[in-house]
Each structure stands twice: as structure tokens, then as C-alpha cells.
Amino acid sequence: MVFGKFVAYFQPEQKSITSRDALLYASGIIGLKLLQILFENNLAQLVTEYSMKIRTAVSSLIFRKALKISPLELSNISIGKIVTLLAKDVYSIDGGVTFLKDTVIGVLYILVVTYTLYQKVGVSSFPATGVILVLIPLQLYLGKKTTLSRIETAKRTDERFRLIQETLNAVKTIKMYVWENYFEKLIGIARLKETDKLKVVYYLKSIIVILGASTLNLSFYVLLISYIARGYPLKAEVIYFVQQSLFTLRAYIAMSIPLGIGQTADMIGSMRRIQQFLESKEYHRENITMPSPNEHPVVYLNQVSVTFKKKQILKSVSLNIKEGLILITGNNGSGKSSLLKTILGEYPVSNGEKKVTGSISYAPEEPWLFPSTIKQNILFGQAFDKKRYEEVLSVCALTYDINQFEKGDYTIVGDKGINLSKGQQARVTLARAIYRNSDVYLLDDCLSSLDNHVNKHIFEKCIKGYLKDKICILISNNLSNINSVPTGNILLIENGSTLTLEQQAGALDKRITYYIDEETERFKRESYLLDDFEESDDEVDETDTLLQNKKVADREINLYHETKKEGGVLWSNYVRYFKFIGGYFRIGLLFVIFISSQACLSYSEKIISLWVNLEPKVTKMLENNQTNSTEYLGIVGQRNTYLNIYSMMIIGIFVFFMLRAFTTFTFCMNGAKKMHRAVVKAMLNTNMYFFDTHFIGNIINRLSKDFHSIDEYMPFLVLEYIRSIFSVLGVLILVGTVNISFFIPAGLLLVKLYFVQKFYLPTSRSLRRLESSTRSPIIGYLNSTLEGVAIARASQKEGLLKIEFDGHQDLYTSVFYMNQTTGKFFGLILDFFGIFFVVGIMAKITFFGEHLGAGDVGLAISQAMMLSGVLQYIIRQLTEIESVMTAIERVLEYADVELEPKTGRVLEIANWPIEGNIVYKNLTLKYKNDDNIVLKDLSFDILGKTKIGIVGRTGAGKSSIISTLFRLYDYEGNIFIDNENIKTLSLEYLRSIISIIPQDPVLFSGSIRSNIDPLSKYTDTAIWAVLAKVHAKHLVKDLNQNVTDCNYSSGQKQLFCLARALIRGNKIVVMDEATANLDPETDKLLQESVRQCFEECTVIIIAHRLNSVMKCDKVLVLDAGQIVEFDEPEVLLKNRNGFLYKMVRDEGPL
């Protein structure tokens, strides 16, 4: 209203408004603008703080729920989905709350503007308001559709995250299987499904935004037509009152309400997913009754049965123990691990009686280590007791190992303990359980990955010694351990059942006697060369205390370290992003569309100005009754021409708005797909050093939240930034057509904004990078916690985990708050600069604008207000683009990692290698960033078609030998296969001719068929044949059955891994602790299968069970990375002072 009065002052021949009134109106415009700036910026800050608090609270709630979720629900939901909730869904709250606020304010503005328009133009305002009221419900309907599409998109995102997480966790195995291309394709398909759903969201959002951007132009047009049709002349005061009133709504109608609908739809979709997770069934901790001082703790089960996933995994289990050791044994899949989880309370009891009194410690079959120091992994929140700590290290045979590390027990453990051997991982996990002073210790086959010497030490010193006054329930199939325990302390579980308590008390379980006797006889037959089994006087030397001179940095260790770059985002990153989008042609096409769109918009504004200047002439001739004159007819014809041109411009605006939005989103989405493909390809083809030095949490963060920014925000930012640039050009041209001197204050404004953003951008850039790097620990910590949640519950350390998670989140939130606050303050400064620019234009017009027409004045001031706003918007968008470009920079950093060399020869010899001879010559291995030499100048020959056993203490370097054979790490020296130096061979070719049964039995999500033959090279008949040979056929009903629906034990998983190796039919086979998780009966069957199926192959067997290597042609003994013995087992066993002799003697019956 004030603006309209000011413009009316310049109407020709008007007398009602004086120059003093004009000054007052000008001051009123500036004052109201200042109040608006202060109100909107402070409100935005308050809403940001409010949304941040909500997001932080929801994130904490998700983490706390994750600690309580039941095992069944966790298996159904998947870890990947929970990570998605915290990595992506919670961030929709920030955008949703902010835009929800703008939507509410926008609705209030609409009501106020509708009323003021009615007061000014009467019923002519109703059609304009009707257009707005019709389009908003349409936008709401599209917003509802967006919500549904967002939920579908989130499901596809979960699937992609799950695949990425699964792939990264097993990347070493994937490389040795040469399955990189397969998993790249799988992830690519998941990404394509995700982007297909995301495309629908994009297009729905585009339509919502376009409707909003076009609404005001259409409303203004409809109001003008209605006003003219009612016979009213177009006065400058009326036109610019209407225009400014609608301009007030522009930010809300064109941006806030459409985006608010889209963002709110995203938030609703995310909140539904979060709500669904929060409503999942919880794990209910059983009330643990602590025994009175005169009572013993007890574990009592009487005919207990357990059902999991509608499958009965325990049929009838009975157990009653008040003190001492009980060893549980049985075949793979018999229910041993399920029994311990039932005692823990992880699995609910379906039938039977159960009573557990006393505190519990738990060590799982698969080691669980979290990214921290070895010491913190052992203490796990317990108070440090030096005496107990060193005793635990000694009885767990860790003192020697820790003293070998440069930083001792301050050595950082990588994801899943990747920088420790499997045996070291198992012992650290065991030490954590033992350090906690509990009444009951549940140890789930945690000694299976240890060599016999270390196994014997731990079993004697720890299990039978240190825990002698405690209840200790140990799962083991190790014959040496079984033989060293009285038969009455052994419980055999078979097909989910044990003897009843009465049967256990009344008579010896004959099945145990048979089980032990058969295996003992087999052991004696296989170690016949030993004259006797003398008791060994040699023990693992664990009497030394920890070395005290380890140099540990005083500064706090940054576990989830990410290198924070300094300075601006490199221009090359912008260039690469635009190349991903489509290169110069597509960028050029975008520019043509944007230029056409802006031309329609700017020319429509100019037409209004010309129309307003023309209307006084029409009015004057009507008043003078000159309607029949040629001049009047010419003026009316010109007015009709303006009306026709304006109508065409309105249509052009809608068409080009639609076209620019769709093309921008399509091009940016294609760029994001290409970038994702490049990063995944790089991750799968980089060397293993990368995964040794980068936590999986960091990688997942970049492939989740960073890609969320690239997918969701970058298309909109590109669209708005290019649109704003051309909008500024259009405004400058329009202002210049009024008075060229207006370029001077515009130029000054540009200079001021340039210097302000020059000071602000470095701060914003650093804060954004810091925000990204402090977010990684949140994702990594959640991922690690979910993998060890059963241990946390057993240790009752949920409170500690909550505190540590809150610490990570507080750090991130503080950086996020600082980033948002500085951004809001920067916006406030820009708004003040914009006010100064408008003041300059109005002063020029007020004091020196007598010659200007009302239309020109209205055009100049309206465009000046728009220019200041658009320039500020450009600076903000530039800041946002650079912020999102840091995400692109971080993603491209992973796309540029060093790749494994794929070049090399592929021998054109059928079925190569022919003989399978392997020669190691002067081989030395040292990992990057580590001064320790893992393998020291090894030289040995393996004749083709022979079987070589490799044994040695845990951490001696056995698996490292295999790593060099697969060229997972660079090494010094040479390895020859059939006289061919493997360094000259193609890496893919080399790995394809070697079969591996890895140390960790990994089954990937999918069918049995895809797990054994993912490349579909073999027939179903061939797959069934290998399943029969490895005695796993009874575990499979259908090759297409999903492995996630089957609760396979570790030993059963290992059988499928053996089937993978067997079906490939290679001449060289590596078995890396392949039988560690097998029961003796299955181990016996498996050894027989290996002898039959791999009779014509060169077989390298790494084993802790010496009976697995006693029939090998030669045995290689490693100690501290050096060969200490290598000969036929008969020769080595004749040396009573030899390493192998002592190891076999230690494993023998005592």
C-alpha cells in the first residue's frame, strides 16, 4: 500500500500527494523492510535451533532403540536400514521444520494479501485469489504423492546401503574371489532402482515448484484481465499496489510453500520409517537375581525349547551348573550358540524352565572389536585395575603380542579388527569378557581360531585356572580341550537336544564317550610318528609385564580420522562435476533454456511498465471524449498488443519453467549416478592398504549423507543458481532501460557483496568440512554398536554406549550449530546491504526523478528490491553450492584412490597352471605406515600337486603368506607359479586360477546359487554335486532359497565356502583356517572330501588343528614372520626340540 502511494506521486497531473508525503512513504518503505528483515532472520534462527534439537533428540532415540531391539527384529530390519535412519532420514527434520514454518507464514500472508487486495480492487481480487487457492490443494495432493514415492525411494536406499555395507565388510574375500565386477553390478542395479524412484520424487517436486513459481504471474494476469473487464483504468498506484502485494507472497508461493510441501512430505515419509523402527519389538532384559553371600550363582535349564523365525532351533535342552567348567560340544548347527544366547536372554524361551542368577560375561564366536585402542576394547568401560588387567592379558596370551606393537595396548584397532590377526581378535574379545568380574562366563567357541600352543595356554591358565571358581560354559569342538575335561563336565547337544537332567545325573552320556574315543583314535593314528606324548615343560611365555616404554602420543587419538582439506574447493572438482552432468553440450543446452525462460519473465515485466505508462493516455482521451480519434484507436490497439504479448509471455514462462526444471534435475541425476558408479568401482578396485587405514563408518558416511546432498540438494542448487544469475542480468537490463545511472549503486552493491562473501566463504567452507568429518563417528559408532549389541547387553554397558554416542553427537551438533548461526548472520548482513541499495535508488528517484513516469518508477524500485534480494540469494546459493561441493569433493577423493594394477599378461594356455608349482624367493612384506616387517626374506618351494600345511603361533604371518600369493599387498621379492612371475600376470587372471576357502565364512545376501556361483558359470547339477561332496546338501532345499532366511552356523557357512572353491576346479587351492569352526565329525568328512576332490591340486592348508596338516606332504612352520621349519611331517616330528613336535605334543591327549 505504501509502495503504491509512493509510485502514485509520479503519476502525471496528480495533486493529492505532495513531495513531503512522498518522502514519508519512502521512509515507510525502508522502515517496514528493516522490520521484516529483523523479524524473518531472528525467526529463522529460532526455528533452526528448534529443528536441531528435534533431530538430535530423534537421533538419540534411534540409538537407544537400537540397543533395545530384539534379535529377531534386528535380523528382519537389517543393520543397513538402521544406519540409513541415522545417516539420512533424521536430516529431513531440519528441512521439514524450516519449510513448515514458511508454509504457515505463507498461508497467513495469503489471507492478509487477499483482504488488502479486496479493499483496493474489489471483487477483481477473487479470480487471482482463486488461482492461488486452486493450485495450493493441487500442490498438497502432489506432496502426498511425493511422500509415498519418498517411502519407496527410502526402501531402495536401504537396499543400496545394505549391499555397500555387506561388500565393504567382506571386500578382502570379494577380491580373492574376483567378484568385484559382480558386486559393482549388484550395487549398480540397486542404485538404478533407487534413482528410478528418486526420479519420480524429483519430477513431482519440480511440478510443485513450477506451479508455485507460475502461480503469481498467472494470478497477476487474471487480476488484470478481470480489472480491465470491469471497465476500470490501469492506474500506476493500483498496478504496483497489486504487484507489490503479490510480490510479498513470491518467496512463499514460489519457494517456501512448494518446497515446504516437498520437504514436509520427505519429513513425513522419514518419520513414518522412524516410527516403524521405534515400534519394533524390544529385547527385554530378564531380571538377573544376584545370589546371596551364602548362595552360589546358578544356570538352570530344564527341557527348554526355543523358536526363532518360526523355526525351532532348540528342542529340549537341559543344564544345571552352580560352579566350575562345563564344555558344550556337538556337530555344526546343533544349537550350541543358540543355547548361550538363550542363557543370555537374547532368545526367548518357548517352553521349559530357565533360571539364571549372577552377573554374566559373554565372548561371541565371531570376535567383536570396536574402533578404539586395544586397552579400551578390553576395559569396555570398566575401571582400570592394573593388577587384574595384566593378569587377564597373561592368561589370555596377549602380553607377548601387545609388546610387539609399537604403541602397545594403545594401538588403534581398525574396523572389525582388520589390523589384527583372527587369533588376536579372538583373544582381545575373550580378554574383555574375562576382565569383567562376573559370576557366569559364556564363551562361544572363541578359542577355535587359535593355534594349539596358545589354545592350551588359555585353556589351562584361563578357563581351568583363572575361572576355576566361576561358572564357565565353553563351546568347543577342540579334541585337546575335550580330552582335558572330565566326561561329567561335557554336555553334548545334538539336533537342538540334550539329555534330560535326570539322565545327565544318572548315567554317562555314551554319545560323548563315542565322540571322544573316535576322535582320539583318529588323532593317534595320524600322529603315529610320535614315540610318546611327553608333558611339555614349555609354556607360552606370558610372565613378562607390559613394556612401559611404549611411546604414545599425548594428544587424544582421533579414531575416525578424516583429513580435513584447507582452502577453497578446487576448480577441477567443479569441472569434473559438470563433466559428470554431461559436458559442454548439456551445459550449453541448459543455458539456452534458462536464457529463454528469463527473457519471457523480464519482457513480461517490461510490458507491464509500458502498459502502465500507456494507461494515463487512454484515461485522458476517455475523459475528453476522444474515443473516435485515430490516436485513441492506435493507443487501444497498442494496449491490446501489450495484452497479447503479455499473455504469450505467461505461457512461455510456464513452458520454460517446466523445461528448465526437468532438464536440470535429469542432468544432475545422471551426473550423480555416474559419480556413484565411479566411487563404487574405485572402492572395489583399490588396494587393501586403503581399507587398513580408513574406517568403514567414514566410507559409509560419504556414500550415504554426502550422496544424499548430491542427490537431493545439488539439482535444486544448480537450478536456482543459474536461474538467479540470469535473473540478475534481466533485472539490470530492465533497470538500465529506466535510467542508466542506476548501474552505479548496483555496481557498488556487487562490490560490497563480493568482499563480504570473500570473508565468509572460507569460514563456511571450513565449517562445512568440519561438519562432515564430525558426522562420520556417529555413523561408524552406530554401525559398530549394532554388530556387538549382544555383548553390550550381556556386559550391561548400554549406558556407556549411550554416553559415548551422545558425545559424538554433541560434537557434531556444536559444529552444525556454528555453521547454521554464521550462515544466518551472513544473511542478515546481506539483507542490510540490500536495504542500502534500495535507499540509494529511492533517493535518486525522489530527488532527481521528476522526468520519470510512474511505470518507470514502479519498475525501477520493484526491480531494485528484487535485485538486492536476488543478489543476496545468489551469494547464499553460491555458499550452499560450495558447501555441497565439499560433499562432491569428499566423494571424488574416494573416486581418485590408488587402484590395484589391473594390467598384466593372460596366458593363452588352457587349464594353466599345468603343474601348480609355487616358488617363493626372498619375499619380504611390510605394510604401509608400519615399520614392522610381517614376512622376513622367505624362500621355499612347493611342488605341484602336493599338499603343504602352514602352521605357527597366532600372528606369525600365516595369512600374510596367502595375501602375497593373491597380491593383496605389494611385497619385495618374487613368487613364481609354474615358472611364471605372478607380478607380470593380470591380477584378475592370477586370482581366478587360485581357489580360496577364507578364514571368515561369509555368506552374502541372496540365494544359495548366487553364493556359490554368482557369475552363473555352472549348472544346477554341478552345484548340487559340490554340495553333496562337502556334506551340505541336506542344508539346502532349493538353490534359490534365500540365505537370510536360514539360521546357518559358522561351521555350516564354511561348508558353503568350501563348495565355492570346489566348483571352480582350479589347480591351486588355499584353505585359510577353513576347518576352525567345524566339529570333529564334519572336519573328518571335510578332510576326506579335500583329499578326494583336490587330489590333483596343489593345496596350501593353514590350520590350527594339527590333524588337518599331518597328512600333508610337507609342513611349513612360521614364527614371527620367519620360516623355522619346512619339511615332511615325519622328519620334523623326529626332532624332539623342533617346533612341530612340541605343537603336536601339546595337542595330544594328556
3-state secondary structure of 1068: strand
- Assess whether pLDDT exceeds 80 at residue 175: yes
pLDDT tens sequence across 228-261: 788 777 676 677 677 777 777 777 776 677 767 7
- Residue 583 C-alpha cell reads as 559436458
Cβ–Cβ < 8 Å for 379, 372? no
DSSP 383: P
Whether residue 493 is found in the same domain as residue 349: yes
DSSP assignment of 815-874, as one string?
Answer: HHHHHHHHHHHHHHHHHHHHHHHHHHHHHHHHHH-TTS-HHHHHHHHHHHHHHHHHHHHH
- Assess whether pLDDT exceeds 80 at residue 44: yes
- Give the pLDDT band of residue 525 (cuts 50, 70, 90): very low
Q: Tell me the mean pLDDT in the region 173-193.
A: 93
- Give the pLDDT band of residue 227 (cuts 50, 70, 90): confident
Whether residue 162 is found in the same domain as residue 225: yes
Model pLDDT, residue 1077: 63
Cβ–Cβ < 8 Å for 951, 922? no
Whether residue 303 is found in the same domain as residue 269: no
Calculate ∠ Cα 108-822-889, nearest 5°.
110
DSSP 90: G
Residue 952 bridge partners (DSSP): 1118
Model pLDDT, residue 532: 47
Whether residue 72 is found in the same domain as residue 25: yes
Q: Which of 829, 863, 895 is the last residue of a domain?
A: 895
Nearest CA to 326 out of 318, 334, 338 is that of 318
- Residue 909 C-alpha cell reads as 594356455
Residue 899 bridge partners (DSSP): 686
The alpha carbons of the chain give a radius of gyration, in whole angstroms, of 38
Whether residue 174 is found in the same domain as residue 312: no
Whether residue 52 is found in the same domain as residue 153: yes
Q: How buried is residue 1134: exposed, middle or buried, by Cβ count under 10 Å (0-12/13-18/19+)?
A: middle
| 292 within domain boundaries | no
- Give the pLDDT band of residue 283 (cuts 50, 70, 90): confident
The CATH number for 957's domain is 3.40.50.300
Cβ–Cβ < 8 Å for 42, 33? no
Separation of alpha carbons 871 and 859, rounded Å = 17
Residues 6+ apart with CB under 8 A from 558: none
Of the ranges 179-183, 654-658, 833-837, 867-871, which is most confident? 179-183
Whether residue 985 is found in the same domain as residue 1123: yes
What is the domain extent for residue 327?
298-526
Cβ–Cβ < 8 Å for 86, 778? yes
Q: Which of 473, 495, 526 is the last residue of a domain?
A: 526
Q: In what order do the strands lie in the sheet with 360-363?
A: 360-363, 440-444, 471-475, 324-329, 490-492
Whether residue 208 is found in the same domain as residue 259: yes
| 640 within domain boundaries | yes
Give the DSSP H/E element, type plus range, for residue 82.
helix 79-87
- Assess whether pLDDT exceeds 60 at residue 466: yes
Q: Identify the sign of the CA torsion 582, 584, 587, 589.
A: negative
DSSP assignment of 646-659, as one string?
Answer: HHHHHHHHHHHHHH
HSE-up of residue 141 (Cα within 13 Å, Cβ side): 7
3-state secondary structure of 462: helix
Taken as a whole, the chain contains a residue count of 1150
% pLDDT > 90, the chain: 24
Ranges of beta strands (E only) in 323-370 are 324-329, 351-357, 360-363
Other C-beta atoms lying within 10 Å of the C-beta of residue 991: 22
Cβ–Cβ < 8 Å for 917, 1097? no
Domain count, the chain: 3
- Give the pLDDT band of residue 718 (cuts 50, 70, 90): confident
For residue 186, how far is the Cα from the chain centroid?
A: 17
Cβ–Cβ < 8 Å for 719, 661? yes
Q: Tell me the mean pLDDT in the region 841-861.
A: 71
Nearest CA to 1043 out of 1035, 790, 227 is that of 1035
- Residue 853 C-alpha cell reads as 513516469
For residue 370, how far is the Cα from the chain centroid?
A: 17
C-alpha distances (whole Å) from 812 to each of 44, 370, 480, 604, 887 are: 21, 20, 51, 47, 16
| 776 within domain boundaries | yes
Give residue for cell 611385497: 971
- Assess whether pLDDT exceeds 60 at residue 151: yes
Question: What's the mean per-residue pLDDT of the chain?
Answer: 82
Model pLDDT, residue 316: 92
Whether residue 505 is found in the same domain as residue 413: yes
- Give the pLDDT band of residue 1076 (cuts 50, 70, 90): low
- Residue 756 C-alpha cell reads as 563480504
pLDDT tens sequence across 886-937: 888 888 989 999 999 888 999 988 889 999 999 999 999 987 766 678 899 9
Model pLDDT, residue 942: 94
Whether residue 928 is found in the same domain as residue 1075: yes
DSSP 336: H
Q: Tell me the mean pLDDT in the region 291-317.
A: 86
Cβ–Cβ < 8 Å for 968, 176? yes
3-state secondary structure of 964: helix
Separation of alpha carbons 673 and 195, rounded Å = 8
Q: Which of 492, 526, 560 is the last residue of a domain?
A: 526
| 396 within domain boundaries | yes
- Assess whether pLDDT exceeds 70 at residue 445: yes
Lowest mean pLDDT among 405-419, 507-521, 672-686: 507-521
DSSP assignment of 536-567, as one string?
Answer: P-------SPPPS-----SSPP-TT--PPP-S
Model pLDDT, residue 702: 82
How is the chain split among helix, strand and coil, in percent rounded to 5? 65, 10, 25
Cβ–Cβ < 8 Å for 427, 397? yes
Nearest CA to 673 out of 554, 581, 555, 591 is that of 581
Separation of alpha carbons 1037 and 983, rounded Å = 43
- Residue 12 C-alpha cell reads as 502525471
Number of H helices and number of E strands within the chain?
Answer: 38, 18
Model pLDDT, residue 868: 63
| 243 within domain boundaries | yes
Whether residue 148 is found in the same domain as residue 268: yes
The CATH number for 93's domain is 1.20.1560.10
3-state secondary structure of 11: coil
| 1049 within domain boundaries | no
Q: Tell me the mean pLDDT in the region 560-565.
A: 52
Cβ–Cβ < 8 Å for 562, 773? yes
Q: Identify the sign of the CA torsion 383, 384, 388, 389.
A: positive
- Residue 1082 C-alpha cell reads as 564334519
Whether residue 601 is found in the same domain as residue 688: yes
Separation of alpha carbons 1098 and 1114, rounded Å = 12
Separation of alpha carbons 1088 and 1080, rounded Å = 12
Cβ–Cβ < 8 Å for 3, 861? yes
Ranges of beta strands (E only) in 199-288 are none
pLDDT tens sequence across 483-496: 888 888 889 898 88
| 1051 within domain boundaries | no
C-alpha distances (whole Å) from 964 to each of 817, 890, 935, 975, 982 are: 48, 31, 10, 8, 10
Lowest mean pLDDT among 533-547, 845-859, 973-987: 533-547
| 1014 within domain boundaries | no
Residues 6+ apart with CB under 8 A from 236: 7, 8, 10, 11, 612, 615, 616, 853, 854, 855, 857, 858
Which one has a higher pLDDT value, 550 or 1049?
Answer: 1049
Q: How buried is residue 691: exposed, middle or buried, by Cβ count under 10 Å (0-12/13-18/19+)?
A: buried
